[in-house]
Amino acid sequence: MNKQVTVSVIKADIGGYVGHSAMHPGLLERASQMMEDFRSRRVLIDFHVTSCGDDLQLIMTHTFGVDHPQIHQLAWEIFRECTGTARELKLYGAGQDLLADAFSGNVRGMGPGVAEMEITERESEPLLIFMADKTSAGAWNLPLFKMFADPFNTAGLIISPAMHAGFRFEVHDVKQHQRIFFNTPEEMYDLLVFIGATGRYVIKAVYTREGEVGAVSSTQRLALIAGKYVGKDDPVCIVRSQGKFPAVGEVLEPFTMPHIVEGWMRGSHYGPLMPTSVRQATPARFDGPPRVICLGFQLAEGRLIGPRDMFDDPSFDEVRRQVNILADQMRRHGPFEPHRLPMDEMEYTTLPQVMEKLRDRWEALPETLTPA
C-alpha cells in the first residue's frame, strides 16, 4: 500500500474509578461499541480502545489526515457519551478533561490530548504507542532524546547506515507558543539546553533528516488552557520503529531508567515514571507513582495488528523495583521540594488561592532587619 494512512491517538480523563486510579470497564465497553460503529461505517480503518490509569485512550487509523474535524468530532462524541456513563456511576471527576461544552472543529485546546501522524506505510511498519498517567507533556523529552539521539541507548545511530545521519527534533515552547527545529548530532547541546526544562519545552516530533516523521507526542497543557489546575496532562506519544527508525528494543530501552517526571499526587509532585503492563497501570500509592504503558502494533494496510503489551515483560521488573525505592525516598520529603513541585509550577495548582488568602498577612521587615 502506497497511499497515506493516519494514526491518531486521542485521550481524555472523563471520570476515574476509584478516585483517579483507573477506568471503569463500562466506559471502555461503551467507547469500543461506538468505535466499532465508526469502523463499520468505514470512517475508521481500525481502532483499539484502552486505558492508562484514569485516561480513556482512543487509538485509530483512517485516511483523513491529521487534525481532521470528522475524526476529532468522533473522539469528542465518544468522550461526551462516556462522560454520561461516568455521571450515572458517579465516577470521580466525570468529564474532567472536557473543558468546553460544544465541539468547535478540533479537540486541541478543548482538554483532550492528541498525537497524530500521517505516514506512507512501509513494507513492514512496527508502531509503538506510549501512554502515561499522573504526569504531563514533557515526560517524553528524555526518552525521545535517548531513542533518537543517544548512541549509548540506540546502537543503530552508530551501526545502521540508515540512521547514521541522525534526526531532526521539533521542540515547542508551550508557554510562548513558538517552535524550533534542531538537527542531531550537530546541535545536540543546543537541543538539550531547552528540552531539559520539561515544563516549558516539549519535543513535539522527531523526523529523519529527509523529513519523514518518526515520532509525535501530545503537548497539551491543561492548566495553561484552563488557567487553573484541572488534572494533569497525561501525555501520549506515537513512535515508528525499525529500518530507518530505532529498533523496538531501542525505543523501549530508555524506560529502564526510572526517570523523574512531574505529576503524581494532585499533579504537584516529582516522582519516578514506572513502566507497567496495561493491567498494572492503576496508580494507587499516593495516586502513583506515575505510569507509562506501551502498546505495539504492526500496521497492515492501516489495520492495527496487535496489540502487544510491551512492558508486560520480566526485563522491566528491575526498573519497577527501582521506581519503588525512589518513590520511598521522594515520599519521605513530604511537602518539601524537590518532591513537591517548585513555586512557578505550583502556580498552576491550588497554590494561588492560598497565596491570595494570606496576602494581607505579609508585613514589611523592620528596618533593622533589612539589608543596608
Q: Is 234 known to sit in a ligand binding site?
A: yes
Find the binder of Mg ion among 16, 254, 288, 289 (CB under 5 A): 16
In angstroms, the Cα distances linking 297 to 14, 107, 192, 303 are: 26, 25, 30, 9
Nine cell digits for residue 264: 503524581
Residues 117-176 that bind ligand 13P (CB under 6 A): 133-134, 160
CA-closest candidate to residue 143, choices 199, 217, 220, 242: 217
Compare residues 71 and 114 and give the one whose CB is closer to ligand 13P. 114
Choose the catalytic residue: 17, 201, 207, 229: 229
Q: Which residue has the cell 522491566?
A: 316
Q: Which stretch binds ligand 13P (CB under 6 A): 105-113, 170-178, 241-249, 353-361?
A: 241-249
CB of 131 to ligand 13P, least distance (A): 12
Q: Which stretch binds ligand 13P (CB under 6 A): 81-89, 139-147, 239-247, 332-340?
A: 239-247
CB of 166 to ligand 13P, least distance (A): 16
CB of 278 to ligand 13P, least distance (A): 16
CA-closest candidate to residue 277, choices 251, 310, 234: 310
Find the binder of ligand 13P among 15, 143, 214, 267 (CB under 6 A): 267
Conformation bin of residue 227: beta by default, left when phi > 0, alpha when psi is -120 to 50? left
CB of 132 to Mg ion, least distance (A): 9
Q: Is 24 known to sit in a ligand binding site?
A: no
Q: Which stretch binds Mg ion (CB under 5 A): 93-101, 212-220, 268-276, 350-358?
A: 93-101
Q: Is 13 known to sit in a ligand binding site?
A: yes
Phi first, then psi: give them for residue 81, nearest 5 degrees: -60, -45
Binding residues for ligand 13P, total number by CB under 6 A: 19
CA-closest candidate to residue 3, choices 87, 118, 143, 148: 118
Spell out the residues 6+ positions from residue 108 whose beta carbon is closer than 8 angstroms to its own.
Answer: 67, 72, 114, 220
CA atoms within 13 A on the CB side of 350: 8
CA-closest candidate to residue 222, choices 111, 129, 309, 119: 111
196 near 189, Cβ under 8 Å? no
DSSP 368: G
Phi first, then psi: give them for residue 135, nearest 5 degrees: -150, -160
Find the binder of ligand 13P among 118, 121, 234, 253 (CB under 6 A): 234
Whether 146 is a known active-site residue: answer no
Choose the catalytic residue: 11, 13, 204, 244: 13
Partnered with residue 182 across adjacent β-strands are: 169
Binding residue ranges: 13, 20, 54-55, 92, 96, 105-106, 133-134, 232-234, 266, 287, 348
Residues annotated as catalytic (active site), given as ranges: 13, 229, 232
Instruction: Give the interface with Mg ion as residue ranges (CB under 5 A).
Output: 13, 16, 20, 53-55, 93, 133, 231, 234
Applying CB under 6 A, the residues found at the interface with ligand 13P are 13, 20, 53-54, 96, 133-134, 160, 231-232, 234, 242-243, 247, 249, 265-267, 287
